[in-house]
Structure 1
Amino acid sequence: RLQLIGLNASNQLVTYDLLQLTTNIPQPLVEGVMDLRVLYGIDSTGQRRTVDKWVSPNTSGYSSADLTNANGTSAAQAQTAMGNIIALRVGLVVRSDQA
């Protein structure tokens, strides 16, 4: 599966199937998410499978448009960039709806 995870306007963590094999509607996972931050762990050498740098998802070459060929990136470039992402660093701020 290839999924995009993000926040919707209702502060829900949602998942979206990029291949649209099951549905093209974002599916809520968790409510009360106030902030979501992600960094991609990149193996830029492609040899040792160890992270040698961390980049933001809006870094050139690693944006959602770059990784899905939406901005003219070739399929080979997108595949190489995805293959270089070997780890994720995720931060969440979640608020309970209980007082």
Structure 2
Amino acid sequence: AEGAGLDTNKACLDGTREEVLHAVINWIDDADPDTPRIFWLFGTACTGKSAIAHTIARAMKESGALGSCFCFEKGAVERHTKLFSTISRDLA
């Protein structure tokens, strides 16, 4: 979907959010089959969730581990209809 992918302009500023970024990267790298495969990043509005997601996506893309990136946005009311087709295209 247009505008739903990785946007490096929305990434965290260098040196910020390092604790949570390390936690997410460690979760991604954890090969233990008992580790949950969904990481739920949540918080109130304007707390940096999108910046964290875009930073992680950028790191995964740079390492060759990003299969797809799809971001929802409050004002993009029809974007959700493109979720599965966008991910399918990216993984093909």
TM-score (norm 1): 0.25
Highest Rg: 1 or 2? Answer: 1
**Which structure features the higher share of strand residues?**
1
TM-score (norm 2): 0.26
- Of structures 1 and 2, the one with the larger relative CO (CA 8 A, separation 6+) is 2
